[in-house]
A and B are shown apart, each in its own frame.
Chain A
């Protein structure tokens, strides 16, 4: 069952003079982890801002969690079903204390005061931030900040989680941590994940990659099919992850590995299987 359906979506910031989205049609199934991959300015953030009606639909149609998006849509209800974590952790906090910030979402949906504490604690322990309730947000590291932002979204218990380049301001360790939690949320709570990114290395957690270029959906498919296609990636201003590059180089020199690796671990394993 498709949880997000787009048909022929187009968008322009300046009344049709320059279009940033062209005729985009895609389906995202429930329980998927979808990576929307693209170079800066490929329109990927513009696309996902349509999913929770931050941008007004200009062309085409979108259905998210059985809610048709149009002028009469109750966006407030829609935004309870789809939560977004943004790029800059510092620009999405509304309160100085961690627990007050996580409580912001439930407060907006008029959850009774005596249930909010419990929801906040649960959401924070879901991302491994239990015990940080009283801390001030500006004293946390970048990775911790993004996990608190994720907890703030989880406290509303949405079906779909969207990450709008949520890892791009983090150090490698913070990025890895956040990705691990994203994968865990998908596996254990069956959340549908949409992650917008320009890091090809992050696509290994996805089961579907959508490659965008200049406002068009270039190709959608399995991560190995898309990341293994060097020409396709290069034409959209990206490079395969280092493990895949090595695999392709080996292939050119006549050494065929049994599968196309996306991470260093997979590469090492398949090289070991070689002998």
Chain B
């Protein structure tokens, strides 16, 4: 599953690779805000120009991005059709029962499709230029302020780290269980959706059981190594905010402000 996922991390040394993860994540949030605020033609132009810049600065292979957008085409089509047919408008082009085809609806549909496409491209670039571990440390930094509303930030960070470490192990295990069940006659390749869903059950139950066993062993290993809660530990090294990262945040904040104003 994980292996075929689009937007997998590609190590590199582009401008975007070098922005520290927390700053990159924060910039990403600003861009999403900007996308949501976009509603004029000039705004769209600015957004497209910005996205092109981001893609160029990230050295990501363009084919990969096009492929991920192409894969979404049926989804886009559905969104567009739904919006154009069900948007309640005062001057419909064509009306039948509860279906109203209108110009405003079509524009709205294009709007939504455009926003989703931009977000897909930007998030693809984000995950291709940031390692999973980088993303985790970025999330860790960004949720730090939540400490003041009594969120156990260190514990959450520990849970994220452990969960991340177990992903490859669990994928391997589910693969093994799947093969074992196939050897005993389970049918994962069945055409019928209901049969395929039923076949998942004998896979999920053993996976659950073994995960509990693993969790038990892990907690024992952690205690043996002196763990007594995430509080009493050496604090993580701070990553300093360099110029590049500050610039990226400023650029995204400026874009966001621009989209709000116009």
Contacts and interface: CB of A to CB of B under 8 A. Distances in A.
A145 B12 CA distance: 27
B73 interface: no
Contact of B225 (A83, A91, A110): A83
A100 to B, nearest CB: 8
Contacts, number: 81
Interface in A130-158: 136-138, 152-153, 156
Interface in B207-240: 214, 217-218, 220-228, 232-235, 237
Interface stretch (A60-68, A101-109, A223-231, A258-266): A101-109
Nearest to A54: B220
Interface of A: 52, 54, 76, 79-80, 83-84, 86, 88, 90-97, 100-101, 104-113, 116, 136-138, 152-153, 156
Interface residues of B, number: 26
Interface of B: 132-133, 158, 161-162, 164-165, 168-169, 214, 217-218, 220-228, 232-235, 237
Nearest to B234: A107
A145 to B, nearest CB: 11
Given A54-B220, A138-B168, A104 B225 contact: yes
6 contacts: A91-B217, A94-B161, A97-B133, A105-B225, A108-B228, A153-B225
A110 B234 contact: yes
Nearest to A105: B225
Contacts of B228: 76, 108
Contact of B221 (A91, A95, A106, A112): A91
B218 A137 contact: no
Given A105-B226, A106-B234, A110-B234, A94 B217 contact: no
Q: Which 3 pairs, one residue from A and one from B, show the smallest C-beta to C-beta distance?
A: A92-B221, A108-B226, A138-B168
B194 to A, nearest CB: 34
A110 to B, nearest CB: 5
A116 B165 contact: no
